Amino acid sequence: MTQDEMKQAVAQAAVDYIKPKLSEDSIVGVGTGSTANFFIDALAEIKHLFDGAVASSEATAERLKNHGITVYELNNVAEMEVYVDGADEFDGGLNLVKGGGGALTREKIVAAVAKEFVCIVDSTKKVDVLGEFPLPVEVIPMARSYVARELVKLDGMPVWREGFVTDNGNLILDVHDMEITEPKELEEFVNNITGVVTNGLFANRGADIVLMGTEQGVETLTL
Ligand code: 5RP
């Protein structure tokens, strides 16, 4: 099975998982990335079963609309049944690193609103200790150098994702060489650096369930 086939399988598994929870009033939060794109395509098949979606990026909004799925502004939504998104890494505590696609801030906001966060990944994303994937940090442009110096103090190696601007008009620093043994604490610490919008650790609000595509099929992981 290729990595794309595993992504497609978990995307379908996510649709099967959320289907019984949906009603005509339900709003589905939708993440960003290649796995989320497979999910959007599968979700389109059941679009008659729910009201609409909230997108975590402009790219996702575009794909949802192309499928004829109504996209709502988050500010106009009081309740969200479920949020479905991929991840760049996850550990045994269902803590995640996200933001490879640069949508981390909107992803974190939508995840915060949702009653349940379903994370969809292939088995290459599982790690014992987070940090093999560089940790994305969204920063206000004028704070880029200052935040980078502060991140070096944490023994990380921040690299400016040059040429990339987030949907919020900000920049990304990808922090290499981190061994993240205390994800909740590090998430809070990095978010407290002045000029940081948010970082890609999803530990204080991690996944409630991870659907992981493997060669043998889709595994369901919960705490
Ligand atoms: C985007 C993300 C994605 O969920 C993450 O990068 C995984 O992407 P993919 O499904 O393409 O591997 O956080 O900001």
pTM of the model: 0.97
| Lookup: tokens for 125 | 């994303």
Residue entry with tokens 């987070």: 130
**Residue 120 alpha carbon, nearest atom of ligand 1:** 10
Q: Output the pLDDT for position 202.
A: 98
Spot the catalytic one: 107, 138, 150, 187. Answer: 107
Determine the Cα angle at 147 with ends 144 and 151, to 5°: 130
pLDDT at 1: 83
Task: Supply the pLDDT for residue 199.
Answer: 98
The best mutation among 2, 3, 35 to test binding of ligand 1, ranked by most ligand atoms within 8 Å of the C-beta, falls on 35
Which residue's CA lies nearest to atom 7 of ligand 1? 87
Concerning whether 81 is annotated as a catalytic residue, the answer is no
CA of 103, closest atom in ligand 1? 14
Spacing, Cα 31 to ligand 1 middle (Å): 8
**pLDDT at position 3, please?**
87
Contacts of residue 75, defined as CB under 8 A and 6 or more positions apart, other chains included, come to: none
pLDDT, one tens digit for every residue, the chain (223 residues): 888 999 999 999 999 999 999 999 999 999 999 999 999 999 999 999 999 999 999 999 999 999 999 999 999 999 999 999 999 999 999 999 999 999 999 999 999 999 999 999 999 999 999 999 999 999 999 999 999 999 999 999 999 999 999 999 999 999 999 999 999 999 999 999 999 999 999 999 999 999 999 999 999 999 9
- Residues 41, 69 contacting (CB under 8 angstroms): no
